[in-house]
Amino acid sequence: MNSKMKTLLGGALTSLFLSTISVHAHHSVVAEFGTAEMFEIGGVVEKLFWTDPHIRVRIRVTGGPIPEGEIWDAVSHAPGLLARTYGLYPGEIEVGDRLVMVGRPSAFNVNRFSMRNVSINGGPTRQLLRSREQRTTEVAPPPGPQSQ
């Protein structure tokens, strides 16, 4: 076998091997939060990370199925998406605020939660996840001249 053929065969075998490895992509919400049953959790904000790629709110649990006093991280969308799509802006959640959230726990056996809805200091519940039906009605028209 010549060296060019060995190189091609080696590359093909490497590609085949790598394609069989299970990978949890960064943006795979299903990989981490899957289809676990949603539950409600309440807590006081201990720390806030309002940065890309996703906001993270660290809370000390005060209510729900989690033992009181545990520290959990609630994650949500990127700051820009929260502002544009859901109207949630920096400064609306602050350290010391009381939150009640609905979401799914991480499948990775860590104290992390996917925040789907949130109520801040007893205010109205804010939805942070649109249904598939809502998303399909928001699709922008294709670029170019539009027929009237």
Higher pLDDT: 144 or 61? It is: 61
Chain-wide mean pLDDT for the chain? 82
Residue 12: band (very low, low, confident or very high) from pLDDT cuts 50, 70, 90: low
- Residue extents of the structural domains in the chain: 32-125
Residues 6+ apart with CB under 8 A from 33: 103, 104, 105, 106, 107, 114
Residue written as tokens 């028209």?
141
Residue written as tokens 């998303």?
135
| 107 three-state secondary structure | coil
| Predicted local distance difference test score (pLDDT) of residue 24 | 43
The 8-class DSSP code of residue 26 comes to: T
Which amino acid, residue 110?
A: V
Q: In angstroms, rounded to a whole number, what is the distance separating the alpha carbons of residues 80 and 88? A: 9
Q: In angstroms, rounded to a whole number, what is the distance separating the alpha carbons of residues 90 and 88? A: 7
Per residue in 43-71, pLDDT (tens digit) is 999 999 999 999 999 999 998 889 999 99
CATH annotation of 32-125: 2.40.50.140
pLDDT at 25 over 70: no
pLDDT at 2 over 80: no
